[in-house]
Amino acid sequence: MNSRNALPLLATRQPARHPAPTVKAQRLAHLIFERPDPDEAARFLSDFGLTVSHREADTLYLRAAAPSPYCYRIHRAAQARFLGFGLEVRSLDDLKRLARLSGASSIEEIVHPGGGKQVRLLDPSGFRVEAIYGQTPSEPLPHRPALLLNLAEHPRINSTQRPPVAPPEVLRLGHVVMEVAEYQATCAWYTRHLGFIPSDVQVLPDGSPIVAFMRLDLGDAPADHHTLAIAQGFMASYSHSAYELVDADAVGMGQRVMRERGWHHAWGIGRHILGSQIFDYWQDPWGDKHEHYCDGDLFTAVLPTGVHFVSPEAMAQWGPRMPKSFTKPKLSLANLRKLIRNLRRSPDLTLRKLVTLMRMFG
């Protein structure tokens, strides 16, 4: 059941685009992490293909080839934690509109590389969103061009394929995926205030939504199938972030280099269904997943939302089956307390839903 709008008659409320959002975010600018050992994080991310761009006493910045001055910010802290992310908006007026939302900061000068102005927000699940405007871009970094492939046309004559055996150059930060307990309120906050459009929603057999893949509303300009995805979990947590590479050989070479350097593989290589990316997932030293990908779908604002049943088989067109470890929550006493609290508090979280998900994904 993977055709678009395959389940039009479902009665359950699905995440939907808002007719007049507060602003329309334009770009995923950066992610924000806390790490007890920023240098160890940088070692993983450098092997993964990012480049350290700025370094301060307790803050480390990494970038991709794209002209964004940084796309990954690490603050030294006692515990490893994902704090949130930055979204670029279109104007100072957009920042003024966001500054009027409940819990928003006033408009502030940005102290990070590239400068500009920002408004800090908290989403209903407690993730930080830094809405930024006026950041000064950096010079793009060079990267190898996509390989010339001898497919139907055979354009490569008297020449071989020898991509360098080195960490694959990351072109840009692509998307971030989070799990939340307050699923509907969190999805609705991003569609209402930041203009996200659900590209595809995955649902349980009873129709209740479990994952929303959401894209930016860039009008007629194409946007990644998803820049943000929100999954129903039992607590707010980071699922993974994804980074675009130049071609499938870069994804494959990334796997070779990451393996040889001893990093922990999570899942891949395969091709997703929703978003169509060729993917490969790696875990950082704290078990947080980072995805290499290429060849993702691009949609303009006109495409309607698709609805599909969720299952492990619905995650990839080909490639190894998604391992059970991929979706296994980190079990601890603190997390168990959060589970019990969220089962009581969240209107979206029920024991039945959790059992269905656990049966489905092991």
Tell me the closest approach of the beta carbon of residue 246 to Fe ion, in angstroms: 18
Tokens 């150059």 belong to 169
Angle at 356 between CA 317 and CA 267, to 5 degrees: 35
Site for Fe ion in 261-320 (CB under 5 A): 291
Nearer to Fe ion (CB atom), residue 60 or residue 231 = 231
Tell me the closest approach of the beta carbon of residue 177 to Fe ion, in angstroms: 6
The answer to whether 242 contacts Fe ion (rule: CB under 5 A) is yes
Beta strands 264-272; 278-283: pairing state: antiparallel
Contact range with Fe ion by CB under 5 A, out of 126-134, 137-145, 242-250, 341-349: 242-250
Nearer to Fe ion (CB atom), residue 75 or residue 265 = 265
Report the residue number whose CB is nearest to Fe ion: 242
Nearer to Fe ion (CB atom), residue 95 or residue 242 = 242
Tokens 């307050």 belong to 182
Residue 191 contacts residue 15 (beta carbons within 8 Å): yes
Give the integer Cα–Cα distance in Å for 168 and 97. Answer: 39
Tell me the closest approach of the beta carbon of residue 239 to Fe ion, in angstroms: 8
Q: Tell how far CA 72 is from the center of its chain.
A: 12
Tell me the closest approach of the beta carbon of residue 178 to Fe ion, in angstroms: 11
Nearer to Fe ion (CB atom), residue 38 or residue 84 = 84
Tokens 């508090």 belong to 345
Report helix, strand or coil for 37. Answer: coil
Q: At 358, phi and psi to the nearest 5?
A: -65, -35
Q: Is the peptide bond before 269 cis (omega within 30 degrees of 0)?
A: yes
Tokens of 261: 């350097």
Tokens 């970094």 belong to 141
Tell me the closest approach of the beta carbon of residue 209 to Fe ion, in angstroms: 18
Tokens 């860039």 belong to 218
Tell me the closest approach of the beta carbon of residue 176 to Fe ion, in angstroms: 9
Nearer to Fe ion (CB atom), residue 62 or residue 229 = 229
Nearer to Fe ion (CB atom), residue 47 or residue 291 = 291
Q: Which of 174, 173, 172, 171 is nearest to 143 (CA)?
A: 171
Nearer to Fe ion (CB atom), residue 169 or residue 291 = 291
Please give the size of the binding site for Fe ion, defined by CB under 5 A: 2
The pattern of x and - marking residues 163 through 202 that bind Fe ion according to CB under 5 A reads ----------------------------------------
The helix or strand, by DSSP H or E, that contains position 210, with its residue range, turns out to be strand 209-215
Tell me the closest approach of the beta carbon of residue 199 to Fe ion, in angstroms: 13
Tokens of 258: 């990451």
What residue ranges bind Fe ion (CB under 5 A)? 242, 291
